[in-house]
């Protein structure tokens, strides 16, 4: 396979759009998972062992549920006759079409990977001794300051690991964009399947597959590089 | 510097059982008070009430007559040293120490001056760029101390600060803490379960058990005059003999008369005495407070031998440095030093 | 422990977000309305009957279940000795091998499925079942090696050496001393591998053949054409299965075993 094929991938606006959309969805998904995951994981990590077990079970449960079911659940929520539109209907608001948009893909992807972020972060945060928080407080930090000055910097390795997992996961997820995105919101993974199985276009499928692997690798190496830079102080 | 008072503090974690029960305590300005007791006695809870981590169910805490009971931890300005040290692993020594000052919005120059000064006092100047994980146990301990002291706290609180150090370092740090505390004249509360550590460092001692203070006093008072059996046992008294009063005179179970300076007003009491305060005497010894026993176990202690003997009213342990050896089965006579006998 | 109000609010919202869609489909599974709709009109079990009357679901379940069990058992057979060798001996290329076992995060499932399709179906022209088995085996093997490997890291190998000095042959020592001590890791890896195989879509999409569909691909196919609560009903059944597995794991190892 020649280099030309890769160049033609990036010069074809159709492909390029899909590539950019995939990166955009993965990036926003990672950010949202971070913003929602960090406080939630901190909340979970500070509960008693018993409560933590229950909360973790609730967080793990969607992860163990088939992704078809999870996507199907969001079809029920976001669809034309879905929950949200029915509620809007009560207030005589015209149905909004949310399904088969980039928004629905994003929601589905966040739903897919938020538990992963939470679980990764809890793993790191529950090992942060409560003494750290108390030490910061005794030195004059209120809870919010102590969280940002002590807990957050100490959680950086977990945040990086979680972000790598979420980003690469979102980049390569197939079922969710297939069911929630529809043909007009294709991502790289759905594109591969379409090229290979529907159009029998093996060359394109292989090119996309390789681009996907390379992108994943670059992101992983990149984030790990950032981590090692941030981490040169050597977190334990 | 401050004076601290706890009044009627009651703490309960589950709403039913009280961990502290109507506790009263006063620490004078510039004094070092040790809270001594076995694990679970409530000493750490007491410290955490003072620090502000625990809201007492009842009672008040005063600092220089200001009511501190409801003041949040971060506004109390108390320096705290944890058993685990709780150094921030992502910050180096300098940044750890500067943490509290930065929160007080001090300017860079002041912060640098204060940190440099306290690092010098704590002998840490050369380590200021190191991360906690690259420090030895003793160095970490001193960083924790420096970090607590640099904010010029009203009160210094130490939670078993020496228990993670090896024996030799512990002795050095003990002296070091005392030196720094006296130099700065800072009121200090020190939690420990080690009686030797406690006596050597403190001005006042509160021995705690089951959420109440069993005895409060100077180290000397507590060491020589324990008031309860619990305190006596905890600080190393080993011999306990039941006595009862017959015609105003104390007797052992077998009728051996015991003469003491003050026989108290109870009809029954417990005699206690340290093994060092019993002497082995010759068979023809005439005098008061003589017990007979048979040697059961002999243990070499270095400067003396310890004999565990069986008497008609139970086990009696005696330390003998005279050099005369007794063997298992030997009958010996022991005299209790009248001045050292404690009744509880 | 006192907690900030903000953090509590976020956490509650997140948990609502996580549970809400699943609760919704659970509700629709019992609704009499033929399309998925709210509010609930009446209670019925018809959709569950429909599940058992739909051949592609029953066949799909049988295939998925068998595939998951067989692939996981095969992977255990290969993975446990491999994990043992990786942590016990310093083999050349150990780092490379370890990286390989992290590969599921590098090689996307969809790419692996595509690659396997090209190799197994187009080049080797293997049967559908064999192809699926190889694909699922490759998906679950890394889970086995990682989870068993992490419990071997906790294992004190001097215990094994102790057994040798007491006259126990090496093979026997492995079964009598090492295995019992990593049994919880093996059970956890089994559960994790089973669930991942059972739920896998990208591999199965590529390797399924005419008339041979795993349950998730059958479901996916069904959703693309029909929109009725039968899928809700089957979702409820699968969720009950998941809950059973979680309870089982919690009772034996603690739920934390699944997050390693």
The CATH number that applies at residue B43 is 3.40.50.300
% of chain B at pLDDT higher than 70: 100
Q: How many domains does chain B have?
A: 2
pLDDT score for A144: 87
Q: Is the pLDDT of residue C49 over 80?
A: yes
Task: Label the pairing between strands B249-251 and B257-258.
Answer: antiparallel
pLDDT score for C242: 92
Q: How confident is the model over C99-109, as a mean pLDDT?
A: 69
B200 within domain boundaries? yes
Q: Looking at CA atoms only, how far is residue A233 from chain C in angstroms?
A: 25
How sure is the predictor about C254, in pLDDT bands with cuts at 50, 70 and 90? Answer: confident
Q: Is the pLDDT of residue A2 over 80?
A: no
% of chain C at pLDDT higher than 70: 91
Instruction: Assess contact for A166 and A118: CB atoms under 8 A.
Output: no
Last residue of a domain, one of B194, B229, B264: B229
pLDDT score for C121: 85
Task: Label the pairing between strands B257-258 and B268-273.
Answer: unpaired
- The answer to whether the Cβ–Cβ distance between C14 and A202 falls below 8 Å is no
How sure is the predictor about B187, in pLDDT bands with cuts at 50, 70 and 90? Answer: very high
Better-scored residue on pLDDT, A97 or B95: B95
| Structural domain for B220, as ranges | 4-229
B40 within domain boundaries? yes
In angstroms, what CA-CA distances link A160 with A34, A107, A215?
10, 22, 17
In angstroms, what CA-CA distances link B234 with A127, A185, C73?
35, 75, 59
Q: Which residues of C touch A68 (CB under 8 A)?
A: 201, 216, 219-220, 223
Q: Within this chain, do residues B180 and B298 fall inside the same structural domain, yes or no?
A: no
- What is the DSSP secondary structure assignment for residue B150, as one 8-state letter? T
Q: How confident is the model over B11-34, as a mean pLDDT?
A: 91
pLDDT score for B94: 96
Q: Within this chain, do residues B186 and B292 fall inside the same structural domain, yes or no?
A: no
Q: Could you give the CA distance from residue A120 to residue A123 in angstroms, rounded to a whole number?
A: 5
pLDDT score for A203: 86
Return the number of other C-beta atoms located less than 10 Å from residue C210's C-beta.
Answer: 6
Select the residue from C20, C21, C104 to test the A interface by mutation, using most A Cβ atoms within 10 A. C21
pLDDT score for C104: 60
Q: Looking at CA atoms only, how far is residue C205 from chain A in angstroms?
A: 9
Instruction: Assess contact for B190 and B6: CB atoms under 8 A.
Output: no
pLDDT score for C38: 63
Last residue of a domain, one of B207, B229, B251: B229
Strand ranges, E, within chain B = 4-12, 18-27, 32-36, 58-63, 66-67, 78-81, 155-159, 187-192, 204-209, 212-217, 239-246, 249-251, 257-258, 268-273, 278-281, 290-300, 305-311, 314-320, 331-336, 342-343
Q: Looking at CA atoms only, how far is residue B87 from chain A in angstroms?
A: 7
Q: Is the pLDDT of residue C96 over 90?
A: no
B235 within domain boundaries? no
For C74-114, the DSSP string reads HHHHHHHHHHHHHHHS--TTHHHHHHHHTGGGTS-HHHHHH
Q: How confident is the model over B147-164, as a mean pLDDT?
A: 92
pLDDT score for B323: 80
- Partnered with residue B87 across adjacent β-strands are none
User: pLDDT, tens digit, for every residue of A74-83?
Assistant: 998 998 888 8
Question: In this predicted complex, what is the ipTM?
Answer: 0.91
- The answer to whether the Cβ–Cβ distance between A140 and B151 falls below 8 Å is yes
Q: Within this chain, do residues B204 and B333 fall inside the same structural domain, yes or no?
A: no
User: pLDDT, tens digit, for every residue of B41-86?
Assistant: 999 999 999 999 999 999 999 999 899 999 999 999 999 999 999 9
- What is the DSSP secondary structure assignment for residue C209, as one 8-state letter? B
Contact with chain A for residue C10, Cβ under 8 A:
yes
Interface subset of A 85-104, CB within 8 angstroms of B: none
Q: Within this chain, do residues B180 and B245 fall inside the same structural domain, yes or no?
A: no
Side-chain half-sphere exposure of C243, counting CA atoms within 13 A: 9
- The answer to whether the Cβ–Cβ distance between B51 and A134 falls below 8 Å is yes
Strand order in the sheet with B58-63: B18-27, B4-12, B58-63, B66-67
In angstroms, what CA-CA distances link C157 with C163, C164, C177, C185, C197?
10, 11, 10, 16, 32
How sure is the predictor about C103, in pLDDT bands with cuts at 50, 70 and 90? Answer: low
pLDDT score for B229: 94
In angstroms, what CA-CA distances link B218 with A71, B177, B225, C1?
72, 19, 10, 36
- CATH number for region C45-259: 1.10.3720.10
Domain ranges in chain C are: 1-44, 45-259
Choose among B78, B133, B148: nearest Cβ to A236: B133
Last residue of a domain, one of B168, B194, B229: B229
Report the residue of chain A nearest B104, measured CA to CA: A140
B234 within domain boundaries? no
Please name the residues in contact with A99: beta carbons below 8 A apart, sequence gap of 6 or more.
A75, A78, A79, A80, A82, A180, A182
- 10 Å CB burial of residue C118 (0-12, 13-18, 19+) is middle
User: pLDDT, tens digit, for every residue of B297-335?
Assistant: 999 998 899 999 999 888 999 999 888 889 999 999 999
How sure is the predictor about C32, in pLDDT bands with cuts at 50, 70 and 90? Answer: confident
How sure is the predictor about B254, in pLDDT bands with cuts at 50, 70 and 90? Answer: confident
Q: Can you list the alpha helix ranges (DSSP code H) found in C1-54?
A: 5-28, 46-53
pLDDT score for B264: 79
Q: Is the pLDDT of residue C194 over 80?
A: yes
Q: Within this chain, do residues B260 and B199 fall inside the same structural domain, yes or no?
A: no
Q: How confident is the model over B138-164, as a mean pLDDT?
A: 92
Q: Which residues of A touch B76 (CB under 8 A)?
A: 138
Domain ranges in chain A are: 3-127+141-229
Q: Could you give the CA distance from residue B273 to residue B224 in angstroms, rounded to a whole number?
A: 10
Q: Within this chain, do residues B156 and B293 fall inside the same structural domain, yes or no?
A: no
pLDDT score for B43: 94
B155 within domain boundaries? yes
Q: What angle do CA B202, B208, B213 make, to 5 degrees?
A: 100
Choose among A46, A79, A206: nearest Cβ to C3: A46
User: pLDDT, tens digit, for every residue of C156-186?
Assistant: 888 888 888 888 888 888 998 899 989 888 9
Q: How confident is the model over B125-146, as a mean pLDDT?
A: 92
Q: Which residues of A touch C225 (CB under 8 A)?
A: none
Better-scored residue on pLDDT, A8 or C35: A8
Q: Of the given ranges (B57-71, B216-230, C97-111), which has the lowest mean pLDDT? A: C97-111
Question: pTM of the predicted model, to two decimals?
Answer: 0.83
Contact with chain A for residue C251, Cβ under 8 A:
no
Choose among A129, A131, A138: nearest Cβ to B73: A138
Return the number of other C-beta atoms located less than 10 Å from residue B15's C-beta.
Answer: 7
Q: Within this chain, do residues B145 and B287 fall inside the same structural domain, yes or no?
A: no
pLDDT score for C1: 41
Contact with chain B for residue A233, Cβ under 8 A:
yes
Q: Within this chain, do residues B190 and B41 fall inside the same structural domain, yes or no?
A: yes
What Rg, from alpha-carbon coordinates, does chain A have? 21
Look up the CATH architecture of domain A3-127+141-229.
Orthogonal Bundle (1.10)
How sure is the predictor about B288, in pLDDT bands with cuts at 50, 70 and 90? Answer: confident
- What is the DSSP secondary structure assignment for residue C43, as one 8-state letter? B
Task: Label the pairing between strands B331-336 and B278-281.
Answer: antiparallel
Q: Within this chain, do residues B261 and B192 fall inside the same structural domain, yes or no?
A: no
């Amino acid at each position: 396979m020649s280099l030309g094929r890769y160049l033609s991938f990036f010069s074809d606006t159709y492909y390029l759009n899909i590539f950019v959309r995939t990166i955009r969805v993965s990036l926003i998904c990672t950010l949202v998972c971070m913003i929602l995951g960090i406080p939630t994981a901190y909340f979970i990590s500070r509960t008693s062992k018993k409560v933590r077990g229950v909360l973790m079970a609730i967080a793990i449960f969607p992860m163990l549920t088939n992704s078809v079911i999870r996507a199907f659940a969001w079809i029920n929520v976001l669809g034309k006759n879905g929950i949200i539109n029915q509620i809007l209907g009560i207030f005589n608001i015209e149905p909004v079409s949310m399904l088969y948009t980039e928004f629905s893909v994003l929601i589905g992807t966040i739903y897919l990977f938020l538990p992963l972020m939470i679980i990764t972060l809890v793993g790191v945060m529950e090992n942060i001794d409560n003494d750290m928080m108390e030490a910061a407080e005794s030195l004059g930090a209120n809870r919010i300051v102590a969280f940002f000055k002590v807990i957050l910097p100490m959680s950086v390795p977990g945040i990086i690991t979680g972000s790598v997992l979420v980003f690469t996961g979102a980049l390569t997820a197939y079922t969710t964009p297939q069911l929630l995105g529809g043909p007009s919101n294709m991502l790289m993974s759905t594109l591969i399947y379409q090229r290979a199985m529907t159009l029998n276009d093996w060359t394109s499928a292989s090119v996309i597959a390789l681009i996907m692997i390379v992108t994943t690798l670059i992101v992983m190496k990149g984030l790990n590089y950032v981590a090692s830079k941030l981490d040169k102080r050597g977190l334990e | 510097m401050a004076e601290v008072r706890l009044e009627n503090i009651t703490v309960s974690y589950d709403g039913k059982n009280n961990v502290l029960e109507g506790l009263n305590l006063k620490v004078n300005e510039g004094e070092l008070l040790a809270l001594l007791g076995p694990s679970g006695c409530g000493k750490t809870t007491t410290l955490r009430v003072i620090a502000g981590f625990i809201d007492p169910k009842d009672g008040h805490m005063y600092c220089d007559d200001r009511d501190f009971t409801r003041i949040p931890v971060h506004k109390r300005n108390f320096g705290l040293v944890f058993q685990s040290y709780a150094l921030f692993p992502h910050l180096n020594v300098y940044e750890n120490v500067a943490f509290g000052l930065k929160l007080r919005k001090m300017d860079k120059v002041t912060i640098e001056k204060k940190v440099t000064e306290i690092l010098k006092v704590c002998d840490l100047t050369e380590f200021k760029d190191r991360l906690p994980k690259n420090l030895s146990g003793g160095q970490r301990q001193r960083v924790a101390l420096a970090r607590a002291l640099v904010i010029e706290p009203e009160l210094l609180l130490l939670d078993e600060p020496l228990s993670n150090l090896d024996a030799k370092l512990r002795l050095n740090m003990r002296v070091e803490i005392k030196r720094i505390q006296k130099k700065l004249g800072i009121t200090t509360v020190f939690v420990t379960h080690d009686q030797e550590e406690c006596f050597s460092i403190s001005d006042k001692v509160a021995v705690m058990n089951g959420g109440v203070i069993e005895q409060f006093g100077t180290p000397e008072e507590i060491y020589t005059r324990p008031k309860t059996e619990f305190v006596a046992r905890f600080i190393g008294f080993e011999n306990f003999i039941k006595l009862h009063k017959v015609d105003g005179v104390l007797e052992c179970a077998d009728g051996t008369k015991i003469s003491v300076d003050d026989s108290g007003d109870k009809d029954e009491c417990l005699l206690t005495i340290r093994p060092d305060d019993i002497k082995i005497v010759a068979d023809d010894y005439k005098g008061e407070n003589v017990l007979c026993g048979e040697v059961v176990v002999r243990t070499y202690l270095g400067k003396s031998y310890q004999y565990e003997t069986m008497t008609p009213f139970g086990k009696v342990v005696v330390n003998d440095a005279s050099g005369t050896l007794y063997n298992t089965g030997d009958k010996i006579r022991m005299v209790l030093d009248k001045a050292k006998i404690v009744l509880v | 422990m006192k907690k900030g109000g903000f953090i509590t609010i976020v956490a509650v919202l997140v948990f609502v977000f996580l549970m809400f869609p699943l609760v919704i489909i659970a509700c629709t599974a019992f609704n009499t309305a033929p399309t998925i709709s709210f509010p609930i009109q009446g209670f019925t079990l018809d959709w569950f009957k429909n599940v058992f009357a739909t051949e592609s679901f029953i066949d799909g379940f049988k295939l998925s279940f068998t595939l998951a069990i067989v692939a996981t058992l095969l992977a255990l057979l290969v993975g446990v000795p491999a994990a043992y060798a990786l942590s016990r001996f310093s083999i050349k290329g150990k780092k490379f091998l370890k990286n390989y076992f992290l590969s599921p995060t590098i090689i996307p499932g969809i790419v692996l499925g595509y690659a396997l399709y090209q190799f197994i179906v187009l080049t080797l022209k293997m049967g559908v079942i064999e192809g699926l088995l190889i694909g699922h085996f490759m998906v679950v093997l890394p889970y086995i090696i990682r989870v068993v490997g992490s419990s071997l890291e906790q294992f004190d190998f001097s215990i094994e050496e102790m057994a040798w000095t007491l006259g126990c042959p090496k093979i026997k020592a492995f079964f009598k001393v090492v295995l019992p001590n990593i049994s919880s890791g093996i059970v956890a890896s089994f559960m994790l591998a089973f669930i991942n195989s059972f739920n896998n879509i990208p591999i199965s999409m590529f390797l399924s053949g005419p008339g041979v569909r795993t349950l998730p691909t059958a479901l996916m196919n069904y959703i693309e054409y029909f929109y009725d609560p039968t899928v809700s009903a089957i979702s409820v059944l699968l969720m009950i299965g998941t809950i059973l597995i979680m309870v089982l794991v919690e009772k034996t190892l603690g739920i934390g075993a699944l997050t390693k």
